Amino acid sequence: MARINLLPWRAERRKQRQKDFGVMLGLAALAGLALWFLFNMYYNAQISGQKERNQYLTQQIAEVDKKIVEIDELDKQKSRLLARKEVIEQLQANRSQMVHLFDSLVRTIPDGVILTTIKQEGEKLTLEGRSQSNSRVSTYMRNLEGSGWMTKPDLSIIEARDGVAGLPYAFNLSVQLANPNAPKDEDGDGIPDPVPPVSAEPQVPDAAPQAEAPTAEPAAPAAEPAAEPAASESAEGGAP
């Protein structure tokens, strides 16, 4: 005899499938929530790490800014010291400039030329005087050019003028002052090179032998009187 199942098995299977689907859906939701939580933790950790790195960079940038300010102050102080050093070197170089200048004026002036007026304006020196002829003035200008302490002689006026006997010509010329001992910047680094030693100082030992020369001369006449009695005695002895 055939058996026929009259129970509602299709409804029960449908309920079982719905139940299984609900369980799978719940598991998928839990898995998605767990993944979201893990990703959220990972990215939050990355963001916090990046914030720490940014904060560290901000601190380092602040320290670098402080160092930059200190470096700027040091650069300013260095510039002031270099400017002061340059002034000191210029003063050291120009210490004997006027001595050399007047010495050059005396040494370069030729015979037949006299100076009546000397006027200085900054680095420009104006010379006025009298001369015997035009050639004397030309010689004087060449001497000034070759002195080393005056350059670029420029003759403004030379004319015949009465007033001084034997010196009929009056002249007016200007020169630029120069200093061979002034600091120079030959390497082009913007800092003056070391100043060479001033040439006026080594000349001091040369004056000593000149001062000793007069003391050595009186010794010679002292020996002559001693020789004269001996000669007179020999003359007396030979007379008989």
Q: Where are the domains of the chain?
A: 15-93, 97-177
pLDDT of 208-224, one tens digit each?
A: 333 333 433 433 344 33
Q: What is the pLDDT of residue 15?
A: 86
Provide mean pLDDT across the span 14-24: 89
Handedness of CA 12, 18, 20, 23 (dihedral sign): negative
| More confident site: 138 or 61 | 61
Distance CA 77, CA 83 (A): 10
Considering only CA atoms, which of 123, 117, 126 is closest in space to residue 94? Answer: 123
Distance CA 90, CA 86 (A): 6
Provide mean pLDDT across the span 166-171: 83
Residues 6 or more apart in contact with residue 104 via CB below 8 angstroms? 144, 147, 148, 149, 150
Confidence of residue 233 (pLDDT cuts 50, 70, 90): very low
DSSP for residue 96: T
Q: What is the pLDDT of residue 190?
A: 52
CATH 3.30.1360.100 fits 97-177, yes or no: yes
pLDDT of 73-123, one tens digit each?
A: 999 999 999 998 888 887 776 676 777 778 788 888 888 888 888 888 878
Q: Which residues of 117-147 are buried (b: 16+ CB within 10 A; e: fewer)?
A: eeeeeeeebebbbbbbeeebbebbbebbeeb
Instruction: Decide the pairing of beta strands 150-160 and 169-177.
Output: antiparallel
